[in-house]
Amino acid sequence: MAAIFQGVGAAATLSSSPSNSFVPKKFLTSPRRSFSVRKVPSYVVVRSDGSVNFDLNSKSRRAQQLVANAVATKADSSAASSSSNPGHELLLFEALREGLEEEMERDPRVCVMGEDVGHYGGSYKVTKDLAKKFGDLRVLDTPIAENSFTGMGIGAAMTGLRPVVEGMNMGFLLLAFNQISNNCGMLHYTSGGQFTIPIVIRGPGGVGRQLGAEHSQRLESYFQSIPGIQMVACSTPYNAKGLMKAAIRSENPVILFEHVLLYNLKERIPDEDYICNLEEAEMVRPGEHVTILTYSRMRYHVMQAAKTLVNKGYDPEVIDIRSLKPFDLYTIGNSVKKTHRVLIVEECMRTGGIGASLTAAITENFNDYLDAPIMCLSSQDVPTPYAGTLEEWTVVQPAQIVTAVEQLCR
């Protein structure tokens, strides 16, 4: 486990380690690399022997802090450097809050509903202090009734408001599946276009740090078949804020997937107003040899692996697909046409996951451009175990990614 490291010098040690476990100590004093990396102080995370040593400077049960900005040179973050003012640095959950706050200031119809979003400030602090600023009705603390308060959000959206419904953990939204599938996705159509549902449903999901099976679920695969909704996954503070704002402004119902382990990513983002397009993918690292498609937390595993691969002489192109439904087949297609090899790395389950759909979509549209079958690395079809070692082996680790690329590029 412990895919999150301090210092990006992990690559050097990675290539030398034979197994999937990582040796912790070397990372603490890693040298700077070509990718812009910031040392984030006072977070010690890594372990390979199951022992935990972390600095809980957050009081909630949030998992360990994640490290450096593993975003590569190009892509949207270039907007940050190209603007004349220096921007400001913040953590991903702060970026989400900033986006939410700006939209609430901009449009008085935007409101938040969820458990502990008000006085508690959100279990991951995404709505911290918003209730003090906007009042208890605009940042509504709901009772524990996911199905009903999600339905309430849908009813409010149909009658003119723009609610943001927070699932304390994405897994809890399984209780709201009735409302999300039957009402959120369908009512615009069944009403013949009379009612729009500009709702945003967001929350953290994904495999965390030994949170157990039920708190480690990836719901994107369950929701992806629902017609009428859009799904996006954020992975950096920049795209978190951008996607949050775009989702709120969108007239469609959008589900925004965040990840428990990414909330403490730090990045410098622009001061000015910006949004990220909901339907577009993000080019993280251009390359020539292989297209690696990923999203959310696996982006960091991929970037970790990319360093190793670069050392080995490969040139992977890494794309963060961001838009889980619909897929941005243009960016993906262009990449496939260039590299002719595709590796999908995701945290979803193997069966029926996003990777499975993506494989089908690419095969359908770009089969002629492929030199090798698409490889898809997903989590094991296993309820996430509590034990640290087992949990580590359920999700895809950078070493597996390296092996997969080597196999693909043979």
Chain residues that interact with other proteins, rule: CB under 8 A? 108-109, 111, 135, 137-138, 142-143, 145, 147-161, 178-179, 182-183, 187-198, 227-228, 230, 250-252, 278-280, 323, 325-331, 333, 365-366
Give the whole-angstrom CA distance, residue 389 versus residue 201: 32
Smaller CB separation from other proteins, 4 or 139: 139
Catalytic residue among 98, 115, 146, 282: 146
Which one, of 48, 32, 42, 87, lies nearest residue 65 by Cα? Answer: 42
Smaller CB separation from other proteins, 6 or 150: 150
162-166 and 282-285 strand pairing: unpaired
88 annotated active-site:
no
**Rg of the Cα trace of the chain?**
20
Provide φ and ψ at 92, rounded to 5°: -60, -40
Adjacent-strand bridge partners of 164: 112, 200
Q: How far is the CB of 286 from other proteins (least distance, A)?
A: 17
Tell me which amino acid residue 391 is.
E
Smaller CB separation from other proteins, 142 or 217: 142
Sorted by sequence, the CB contacts under 8 Å of residue 51 that are 6+ apart come out as none
Cβ 253 vs Cβ 229: under 8 Å: yes
Smaller CB separation from other proteins, 102 or 279: 279
Q: How far is the CB of 102 from other proteins (least distance, A)?
A: 18
Q: How far is the CB of 239 from other proteins (least distance, A)?
A: 17
Q: How far is the CB of 228 from other proteins (least distance, A)?
A: 5
251 annotated active-site:
no
Give the whole-angstrom CA distance, residue 41 versus residue 58: 14
Catalytic residue among 101, 115, 188, 215: 215
Give the whole-angstrom CA distance, residue 343 versus residue 375: 5
Q: How far is the CB of 253 from other proteins (least distance, A)?
A: 9
Q: Which residues in 211-312 belong to E strands, given as ranges?
A: 230-233, 254-259, 266-269, 282-285, 290-294
Cβ 377 vs Cβ 346: under 8 Å: yes
Smaller CB separation from other proteins, 195 or 274: 195
User: So which residues are the catalytic ones?
Assistant: 146, 215
